[in-house]
Amino acid sequence: MTEARFTLLAADGAARLGRIDTPRGEIRTPAFMPVGTAATVKAMRPESVRETGADILLGNTYHLMLRPGAERVARMGGLHRFMNWDRPILTDSGGFQVMSLAGLRKLDEEGVRFKSHIDGSEHHLTPERSMEIQRLLGSDIVMSFDECTPFPAEEGEAAASMRLSMRWARRSRDAFGDRPGHMLFGIQQGSVFHDQRAESAAALRDIGFDGYAVGGLAVGEGQEAMFDVLDYAPGMLPEDRPRYLMGVGKPDDIVGAVERGIDMYDCVLPSRSGRTGQALTRRGAVNIKNARHQDDPRPLDEECGCPACRSYSRAYLHHVFKAGEIISSMLLTWHNLHYYQELMQGLREAIGAGRLAAFVAAFHARRAEGDIEPL
């Protein structure tokens, strides 16, 4: 098989069950992609990431181009081989991280000039260079280079930003060329403005992509405003292509976005929380550093089958977190990623069975119960 393609398997309301087939393996959607910023999902071996149920990882173009460098990764056989993950990888375009370098970057029609946060070296990121870097990395799903419109933005400001992104989307498409087995995704912008979202979607459809991201969300607008946009924006994109909501999110963000027709997600939350002592469970977040766990022999979540919950007490997890032990990050990250993948599996099964509403009701009811009682 040399082609990559999306198959829509079932729908339940706006929610979709699907599958992306790629030469490197299948991606079951709705899919959550753990973030492997610098060629590692922090505190996890890739074999362990796979054990949680992940079909695909996300790599960050910005970080990898600066260190170890895209050309170096290419000489080492590409990102998959470099980081020991042979399944699909999606890379972002680098745009989002570069734009957030306030004061250190300069944007014009051509692209963005910026200085590395690591060594101060100067770089020029353009749609063409972003496509080249993602090709050097060997990414299976390549993202167009865009400007993530800041929030809040005036209507005129947002429109100008969106139109720049659409011109860059065209240049990305042209630079990407024809690469069987690899997909290029376009990114819809338009902030919280319906007409701009429609204009952006039309521009992207006109260019033609293998998948479409809803961009410019999860940038501070809040869940309500995000869901307002997701009530209409996904429906503007081609039904027969996967839809990706970048940088989302908390479990309830994902559940709400799945209900609104989004197929793919990525977020640092489960891995970052794992390193700061926060466990994400079906009953909400548990702060393991809290002293109430220090004598608790129970697992984080008695219904969870991850290694942290199967083999360790809250007392142990509390102890190793307080002692600053690396295994704390290892176990909590594993738990959090396991929980996310289990949630995605639950969503997929519910959509397939046409009982998503009941699944979502149960999801919210369980969280409303709160964490388990103290001993």
**Where in the sequence numbering do the catalytic residues fall?**
92, 266
Compose the 330-359 pattern: x for residues touching its own copies by CB under 8 A, - for all others: xx----------------------------
**Would you call the peptide bond into 249 cis, given omega within 30 degrees of 0 as the criterion?**
yes
Three-state DSSP at 215 gives coil
| Binding piece for its own copies, criterion CB under 8 A, among 199-207, 227-235, 311-319, 351-359 | 311-319
Element holding 64 (H helix, E strand): helix 61-66
**Would you call the peptide bond into 270 cis, given omega within 30 degrees of 0 as the criterion?**
no
Minimum CB–partner distance for residue 48 and its own copies (Å): 9
Residue 339's Cβ-side half-sphere holds a number of Cα atoms within 13 Å equal to 32
Answer for which of 13, 23, 77, 220 binds its own copies (CB under 8 A) is 77
DSSP designation for 373: P
Minimum CB–partner distance for residue 318 and its own copies (Å): 8
Cα distance from N-terminal residue to C-terminal residue, the chain: 55
297 neighbors 276 (Cβ within 8 angstroms): no
Three-state DSSP at 76 gives coil
Minimum CB–partner distance for residue 250 and its own copies (Å): 23
| Residues whose CB falls within 8 Å of the CB of residue 110, separated by 6 or more in sequence, listed in order | 124, 126
Phi, psi of 15 (to 5 degrees): -75, 145
Distance CA(249)–CA(251), nearest Å, equals 6
In one-letter notation, the amino acid at residue 79 is L
- Closer residue to its own copies (CB): 156 or 305: 305
| Binding piece for its own copies, criterion CB under 8 A, among 179-187, 253-261, 321-329, 342-350 | 321-329
DSSP designation for 283: T
Helices (H) and strands (E) in the chain, counts: 15, 16
Answer for which of 6, 62, 82, 212 binds its own copies (CB under 8 A) is 82
Answer for which of 323, 365, 368, 374 binds its own copies (CB under 8 A) is 323
Compose the 259-298 pattern: x for residues touching its own copies by CB under 8 A, - for all others: -----------------------------------xx-x-
- Closer residue to its own copies (CB): 1 or 323: 323
Say whether residue 327 binds its own copies (CB under 8 A): yes
Compose the 34-53 pattern: x for residues touching its own copies by CB under 8 A, - for all others: ----xxx-xxxx--------
In one-letter notation, the amino acid at residue 292 is R
Minimum CB–partner distance for residue 135 and its own copies (Å): 19
- Closer residue to its own copies (CB): 81 or 167: 81
Q: Which residues bind its own copies (CB under 8 A)?
A: 38-40, 42-45, 67-68, 72, 75-77, 82-84, 294-295, 297, 307, 311-313, 315-316, 318-320, 322-323, 325-327, 329-331
